[in-house]
């Protein structure tokens, strides 16, 4: 899932080398993925009204269901 988020984010931004995804395992078995991108690319990842961010979350949650776990995505500065 971490690789999938990184792949999708790199396709959206102007500076794909600045994309970073950190994975954190929670106590309840869920996974938190923190996505950071270049300073000028946050608008591209979030999208108008958060539509792009919601689409990323939907795709990742569908992949997580297939693997049998829960995933949360945080877009951080």
Express each pLDDT in 27-41 by its tens digit: 998 999 999 999 999
Asked if 19 and 35 touch (Cβ cutoff 8 Å), the reply is yes
Helix (H, G, I), strand (E, B) or coil at 5: helix
The C-alpha atoms of residue 76 and residue 38 are separated, in whole angstroms, by 11
Domains belonging to the chain, first-starting first, are 2-75 (3.30.300.20)
Express each pLDDT in 4-58 by its tens digit: 999 999 999 999 999 999 999 999 989 999 999 999 999 999 999 999 999 999 9
**Across the strands, what pairs with 71?**
31
């Amino acid at each position: 899932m971490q690789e999938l988020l990184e792949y999708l984010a790199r396709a959206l931004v102007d500076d794909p080398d600045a994309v970073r995804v950190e994975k954190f395992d929670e106590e309840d078995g869920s996974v938190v993925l923190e996505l950071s991108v270049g300073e000028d690319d946050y608008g591209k990842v979030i999208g108008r009204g958060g539509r792009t961010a919601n689409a990323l979350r939907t795709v990742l949650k569908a992949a997580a269901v297939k693997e049998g776990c829960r995933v949360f995505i945080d877009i951080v500065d």
